[in-house]
Structure 1
């Protein structure tokens, strides 16, 4: 009987072993393929975690099962990273069925790639950098069945932080005055890790974001503020600005021949970037009354954009006049109705230009192109006219080159036209002290546009205003004042020791006048004649 019991136990063990080798079941499922042995599309049920101690997977004393972490849906980039300093990206694939082919596209629609043999992972070399890059993946099996389009994004950051100087002295500063420098340090990818500011061997406190450094009552000399920044990938960048403090003056004399033609050439520089979408919607109505105020003058009007790069509508090129063929310049001989509609619709830009707005640079380049008689700009600026620039933008000048500088702009106009042309620069901007605008539709304070308008006696308007009628009228009246002005080569110093003397045809001319920056503005139109202006400027 004992032997019989042992045999029964052995037979039971053998039977149990057979069941375990068959996966624990007694009959294989009969419908786990599509008839051609391709794998079904439904994913298998998740397997519970069996734990590390080999214990029960049921709901016993261990508190129940722990689910195994699921694989990423479709694919992942760099093991789930969302930011990288390399454009060579590691892709791991997790198809929903047994895949034979994989397609990788550098877009969000799986439309630009081509199918290649499936591998579990591979590297993808992106053509993009310093931006958020989309990748999409699609799978296909041997029968031609394709998966949904899986999309992931990763930010590729291969540049150090961006440093932009917004406010700094663009001309010599008188000794003993305070100097203010405003700049920003940003990094949209990895983020700013550290910022260092040095004036010679002296460190100045600064940080990521917008900085304002004040240098109080400086002595004479040359000063350089150097800003260095590093991002969290240890990528670095550096920029500096140099200014001069002096207590010395130079004596100036300027000869100007005045005619009575009342000619003025007006250049509109319009911000066509994406941030101006709100203002652009009603631009035509906002400037509708401009031509009413300049009526009676011999005017020409042209339009360019703040985009520094576009090969058709940027870099100072004049844009086509709306509703007219091969015409880039409006003039006072046109009917009021045609000119008013054409100007409004030309200013209301349909395209989305560069976010790297450079309005002073665009005006500078537009003048260069006109003097060179280049294509669309030919014949815009006449030799015997005055010049007015009207800028409309919700951001500041975004670069720091020589052609972005207010003082250099005035100097260029004076040099290019031998001191014979008066110039005024009017700005409709987010004014630096306008908190309501800056927290609303105004993207950033227009420090340099404010500076160039003050330098040339121009009007400074509010880009956030719902109606530009009042300030456009002020600008148009400012354009008229340009015809009564003499633009000097530098801002004159007027004090107890220094004055400004005007001669007409060799005799002292005492016509009432005011000084607005570099412009001497007379109350009345100047009589025709040869004028000499004596004044003093800082060196």
Structure 2
């Protein structure tokens, strides 16, 4: 099985107004004067030179279960990260409370940005962490924290961050995207057993926290500080490959965002503050790229607490639950029909999704036609399933749940 390439002409996030009729075709238009040409018409995005355009048709009836959300934390456990991870833990309970007040049926899993050793010679990427309810390590809470869990969330988040710890061997080669990629593999609900972190009818929100980029410097030699720090990005480290893989695994209509708490690209004061601790930090270019590509939020790791970041993520998550994923950033006119009508609704393109200002109620059918730029280049993502990784132990923290390939 090969993975489909989801390529757009641009990543622009444009505010659009959608006037919905009872069951007629509707066109997007841009309200900003900056987007209007000299003839008074909204100019169409220009496709990549030499590329052909293909027609894309989306049709789907909104289901009542569209308030389900699977949250995946991807935590950098390198030596410098424990104070920042504690700030994240301190604000997660309020974050969850706000999700619950929005009637969102959530569950949460966590993994780290490195491969976890399972034997003297083997390591496993994307393994889920056991949630902890007190200072004594236990497996009793399992690896999937649910809305229905009758626990003290503040205590669980605080003890789990301490349980994860920081500064392990090889933790300085941070690879949050690769870890998330393998976490998807391990959670593919089309196979059993799986990690239980993904539900077939749920949206997904990833939250990455790291003070560096993928493989520390995102494969960019200009960001190198230490000798040997430059490491080539593999396919599983690349933002577009991850987007492709999620959609090939869970379906083209899967709603998901990747949110990141990072040293924002260009924020030199934040970088200097992080560097003052001794170890050098790096701008999170690749994590920011992935967040932009999926319509997720980007927060600063230097904030005194992460409540503002998490509030932003809530807004992005709500958007994702009232959005339609696209195969690309559309080129030209987008035609939409919602049957029956729900009146006039604002909408915008974010990454590769159309986001509605209000959720389309269950039972309504959304029909969208648009064009994608296409070319003859092969997909950027790797084909087929990755080789499954066995998991046996890791200081008694993990459960043997990874499936074997046939």
Q: CA deviation at 1:478?
A: 1.8
Change (3 A) 1:514 1:172: closer
Give the equivalent residue in structure 2 for 1:393: 210
Contact 2:86–2:161 (8 Å) recurs in 1: no
Correspondence list, 1:80-159, <5 A: none
More strand as a share of residues: 1
Per the alignment, do residues 412 and 256 of structure 1 end up closer, same or farther by CA in structure 2, a change over 3 Å counting?
Answer: farther
Shift in CA distance, 350/314, structure 1 to aligned 2, threshold 3 Å: farther
CA RMSD for the aligned pairs?
Answer: 2.7
Deviation per CA, 1:460-491, whole angstroms, max 9, x where unpaired?
00012121111112112322222111111222
Describe the superposition over 1:283-308 as per-residue Cα deviations: whole angstroms up to 9, x where unpaired.
42243421122112111111011113
2:266 alignment partner in structure 1: 433
The 1:308/1:538 distance shift into structure 2, 3 A limit, reads farther
**CA deviation vs aligned residue, 1:268-297 (integer Å, no higher than 9, x gap):** 101001131442354422434211221121
Counterpart position of 1:449: 287
Contact kept? 1:308, 1:361, Cα under 8 Å? no
Q: What's the counterpart of residue 305 of structure 2?
A: 467
Structure 1 319/392 Cα, relative in aligned 2: closer, same or farther at 3 Å? same
Change (3 A) 1:310 1:501: farther
1:54-65 alignment runs, 5 A limit? none
2:95–2:310 Cα contact (<8 Å) kept: yes
Q: SS of the counterpart of 2:152?
A: helix
The partner residue of 2:144 within 323, 329, 341 is 329
1:532 to 367, 376, 386: 367
Write the mapping of 1:361-376 to structure 2, written as runs, cut at 5 A.
361-371=178-188
1:406 Cα deviation (Å)? 1.3
Larger RCO: 1 or 2 (CA < 8 Å, sep 6+): 2
> Which of structures 1 and 2 has the bigger CA Rg?
1
CA distance in 1, matches of 2:234, 2:192: 22
Q: In structure 2, do the counterparts of structure 1 residues 410 and 469 end up closer, same or farther at CA, with 3 Å as the change threshold?
A: same
Specify which structure has the higher proportion of helix: 2
CA distance in 2, matches of 1:444, 1:290: 27
Alignment of 1:196-345 (within 5 A): 246-261=50-65, 262-295=67-100, 296-311=103-118, 315-323=125-133, 325-326=139-140, 327-335=142-150, 338-345=152-159
Check the 8 A contact 2:188/2:250 in 1, yes or no.
no
Give the match's secondary structure for 1:439. Answer: helix
2:326 & 2:336 partners in 1: Cα distance? Answer: 12
Q: For residues 77-96 of structure 1, give each alpha carbon's deviation from its aligned partner in whole angstroms, at most 9, with x where no partner exists.
A: xxxxxxxxxxxxxxxxxxxx
SS at match of 2:283: coil
Residue 508 of structure 1 deviates from its aligned partner by 10
**CA shift for structure 1 position 380:** 1.4
Q: CA deviation at 1:249?
A: 2.9
Contact 1:303 1:347 in 2 (8 A): no
The question of whether the paired residues in 1 share the 8 Å contact of 2:327 and 2:372 is answered with no
